[in-house]
Each structure stands twice: as C-alpha cells, then as structure tokens.
Amino acid sequence: MHVTLTHFLVVSSLLFCFGIYGIVTRKNAVMVLMGIELILNASNINFIAFARFGNFGLQGQVFALFVIVLAAAEAAIALAIVLNVYKTFVNINVDEIDSLRD
C-alpha cells in the first residue's frame, strides 16, 4: 500500500493521543512534560506532512522550526518550575501538590 498523506496523519494522531494519555494519567511532573513533547512532535508531523502534500511551499517547515524553538523554551521553563516545586514540596507528584485547593 503506497504511503500517502493519510499514513502520516494517522501516525501523528496516534502520537497526539499517547501524549494526551501521558498527561492525563501520569503523576510525575516530568512524565507530564514528556507527554507535552509527544503532542508537539505530533503537530510538527502534521505541519510538515501538509507542507509536503499540499501546495503551500515551505511555510509548514518554517512553522515546524518555530514550534521546535517554543518547545525548547517551554522545556527549560517547565523544568525550572519543577525544580522549585521539588524544593517546596519535596516531591513532584502532580496529584499531591494541591495546597491551592483549600
């Protein structure tokens, strides 16, 4: 079966759903970050697949580059936040950090 746009979209949608699953089910904040990276990769696959199979030139690839830069900034900020949370609560389980609830 020849590879078309649909194959790439299916792969990226599977990556997206696994990323959502990781975000929803994991307790550890670093694992939640890994889920976010999976979602960003899925969106990048979509951008590049539509840039390849649509008649858009290279704009999709340029936007994929922008997404990668934003992912780098997001990972740095999020890990700094995780370190501060670890200093305050001594663990980084997102279900136990609920002191804003009451």
Partner 1 sequence: MDIYDIIFYLFAAVTVLSAFFVVTTRNIVHAAFYLLFTFFGVTAIYVLLGADFVAIVQLIVYVGGILILMIFGVMITNKITEVDIKTGTVHTLPASIGLGLFTGIVGAVILGTKWQVVDAEMPQSTLSSIGNMLVNEYVLIFELLGVLLLVALIGAASMARR
Smallest Cα–Cα separation from 36: which of 8, 5, 77? 77
- Are the C-beta atoms of 27 and 75 separated by less than 8 Å? no
The CA angle 72-73-77, to the nearest 5 degrees, is 120
Task: Tell which positions 64-93 bind partner 1, by CB under 8 A.
Answer: 64-66, 68-77, 79-84, 86, 91-93
Taking the C-alpha atoms of residue 96 and residue 87, their distance in angstroms, rounded to an integer, is: 14
Q: Which is nearer to partner 1, 37 or 101 (CB)?
A: 37
Residues 27-66: x where in contact with partner 1 by CB under 8 A, - otherwise, as a string: xxxxx-xxx-xx--x--xx--xx-xxxxx-xxx-xx-xxx
Site for partner 1 contains 26 (CB under 8 A): yes
Site for partner 1 contains 11 (CB under 8 A): yes
